[in-house]
Structure 1
Amino acid sequence: MMTFMHSELSHTDVSSSPQQFLRLLCRMVDQLLFLMVEWARNSSFFKDIKVEDQMKLLHNSWSEILILDFIYRQIHNIWGKDIISPNGQSIGFDVLDKLGLMDVKAKVFELIKKGKELKMDFNEYMCLKFLILLNPDVSSLENRSYVEGSQEKVNAALFQYCMQCYPSVGDKFSQLLMRLPEIRLISIRMEDFLYFKHMSNEVPDQTLLTEMLQAKRLG
């Protein structure tokens, strides 16, 4: 992934061209989706789920997981208000304004701020990731009880971890869970935005990203 970013960004000033940034964003998301699917299929709980249910869960959760991944990386990197590419190029978040995503930028900044205040660590981040993935409310699951039981185990593990490792922060568990609806709102907004761009032929077609965008709407 780092090699891909370096090769794409080394000769492109995406900060000055919103459309170039959009195309690059879609290609990066496509690459990240392949990595995410590979992670999920080899992860605890999920690898024991039937393929049909796996696909339904991934179609439902992919955008939320990618946003959580991005937020976590921003929390633990001193990037200020810019994204720094591997070759040192600064991509300002202001490019989102040029794409009409001012509301998304504001929500992302707020989530990063809250995550830093909570000092979200890796274990908490991974628990949130599994809570998003293992959603028993996804329609037409064949083994809903297994998914629900798995999510409950992750939820209990997160609660116990917060109580044992951060006893002085009594509401950390609930504060972490409160971030999930905020992530979902951003994911819905971004999916709608990307789907509109896809229907307008402004983003690459026949990719894993477009497959994911279409799957939720056709489902």
Structure 2
Amino acid sequence: MVQVKKYKDNLPIKFDAVAALSMIVEEEKANRGLFVTTSRYLPQARNFAEKQRGRLVLADSTNVAEWCSKISTRIIRDKSETIQDSYILNILNDSSSKGLIGKAVVAQTGYNTVTNQFAIVLKDTPHVSLLMDISGKPVRYIDPPYNHKGYEIPRMDASVLNFKTKEHVFRARKEIDSNGIVTFWGQQKLYTLWDGEPLFYDIDD
């Protein structure tokens, strides 16, 4: 059971609020109660909590900052573990069914130009996916010798490891519409699954 009470911002937490949490801990036979505030606790409230022999924990903005730092460190560690070279090469070379992992996605951008920003799906959940930028590989030029226009496909080989940096690995919000079309929103771009066909590009502004 979780109970949340709203107190006015910046007002110090008094004894009665902490005592009320102690009563809930007792009634629920819980091992511990946690009180979190971005404000501060009055000495009477802290003294009362200390007498509960660890059954009440009072946390403030300093604790919240520490928790956020630890979570951030864990996220960075998890991301680095996910994108080991062997993992990336394995999902590129494994053609067996594994959902969206290893699939290429693309975001088309440009105003006077047309550019394709390719990425691959490294990790996938119902609402968020981990993507990594990859480069495009021209398969046909239509304006030789300048080669500013043509068709390209995502480069799905070991060269993708060059993009394994924090700037190129990012989380994207995943959505599926009523027609089953999957989109990913990340780095201010909207990505869709690449359909396997060469895509037109035009970098001649």
TM-score band (shorter)? under 0.3
Q: Which one has more relative contact order, counting CA pairs under 8 Å at least 6 apart?
A: 1
Higher Cα Rg, which structure: 2
TM, length-normalised to structure 1? 0.23
Please identify which structure carries the higher helix content: 1
TM, length-normalised to structure 2? 0.25
